[in-house]
Structure 1
Amino acid sequence: MVTRRAFLSLVGAAGAAGVATVAGIQLLPGESAPTGDPVVRYGKENCARCRMTISDARFAAAWREPGGKEKHFDDIGCMVLLQRDNGVPETTQFWVNDYETETWLDAASASYVLSKAIDSPMAYGIAASATPDRAEALSKRFESATVSMWDGLDSSVAARG
């Protein structure tokens, strides 16, 4: 027979574990941070900055902090602004999706096409490409497009919004 006190202790522990699981807190000792590409649940997950549903993989972006916590974004501009406004640990990893292939790229090594004609979810008008040559080719498809690298995005995004 379980006493009332034992029952309440079990229920409390189960509740705490459930809340921690929902909150994404890792409880198990020795568990390592996630590795590999981020996993975004398109159509079911909201942008960490603007709260809009992430639905267009061409513009998706993500970061993973050293402890494994990920943030996902519907627009590259949202990620750039949240990083600028809140700051992140120095060893945070950043990803952007390639506009044409919808595969994850390391954000620091990607090239970016900027144009008001690029219809990104939050209208920052940024599309990522794997190489500078591919970015140059992609830029020809959009009016008044320019090509930038990761270091130049902050000022470009700030000017847009």
Structure 2
Amino acid sequence: MRSLLLLLPPLFLFLLSCETSPNPEPIEYGKDSCAFCRMIIADAGFAAELKTKKGKVYKFDAIECMAAFVLSGQVKREDILALWVSDFANKGKLFRVEEVKFLVSDRLRSPMGLNISAFSNEEDLQVAYRNFGGRILTWNEVLEYVGEKWKEKISRAGTRQHSH
């Protein structure tokens, strides 16, 4: 019995160390590459990160890349622990997608061209909206928007391949 009690503290510490942290991993700009498009993550204003419940981390150079990755089903939605995006007004500071609002504006160019930025602060969002125009979206609306654009792109590619 005494030897069993001696094993409990190390076992408890081991189990704690296996627990997945609910926080994002730092993104190494200029070094990490996007899990979706494979480009180097360079612009801290548009970066994003997904962490699974098992602790696997996927980093993205643009919010639209993370949205497309989620839509692709490469990771089941029930296996996702958290999704984070960089706050455009506080470049490099990551917030959960539930904590931000998104701005889609052709005048605020993102690395992959769907031009989606995130703002954790309502005042910063309104300033950007006044300066750049566009549409304000929630995360679910971002997923719908990226899904629509993805279908359009696939449709256009198919039309070009089959035209005579």
TM-score (norm 1): 0.75
**Cα distance in 2 between the residues matched to 1:99 and 1:88:** 28
Selected match of 2:127 from 127, 137, 144: 137
Q: Given that residues 136 and 147 in structure 1 are in contact (C-alpha distance below 8 angstroms), is that contact kept between their aligned partners in structure 2?
A: no
Selected match of 1:120 from 93, 97, 110: 110
Report the counterpart of residue 108 of structure 1 in structure 2.
Answer: 98
Report the counterpart of residue 39 of structure 1 in structure 2.
Answer: 26
Q: Which string of whole-angstrom CA distances, capped at 9 and with x for unpartnered residues, describes residues 95-114 of structure 1? A: 00000112111112210010
Task: State yes or no: 1:97 paired with 2:86.
Answer: yes
Q: Which string of whole-angstrom CA distances, capped at 9 and with x for unpartnered residues, describes residues 86-125 of structure 1? A: 1434252000000011211111221001012221110110
Q: Given that residues 45 and 87 in structure 2 are in contact (C-alpha distance below 8 angstroms), is that contact kept between their aligned partners in structure 1?
A: yes
Selected match of 1:88 from 76, 88, 111: 76
Q: Which string of whole-angstrom CA distances, capped at 9 and with x for unpartnered residues, describes residues 107-157 of structure 1? A: 122100101222111011011000344322211121x41111111101212
Count residues with an aligned counterpart: 132
Report the counterpart of residue 50 of structure 2 in structure 1.
Answer: 63
Report the counterpart of residue 22 of structure 1 in structure 2.
Answer: none
Listed as ranges, the gaps of 5+ residues in structure 1 are: 1-28
Q: Given that residues 64 and 116 in structure 2 are in contact (C-alpha distance below 8 angstroms), is that contact kept between their aligned partners in structure 1?
A: yes
Higher helix share: 2
* CA-based RMSD: 1.7
The percentage of aligned residue pairs carrying the same residue is 26
Listed as ranges, the gaps of 5+ residues in structure 2 are: 1-13, 151-164
**Cα distance in 2 between the residues matched to 1:69 and 1:106:** 17
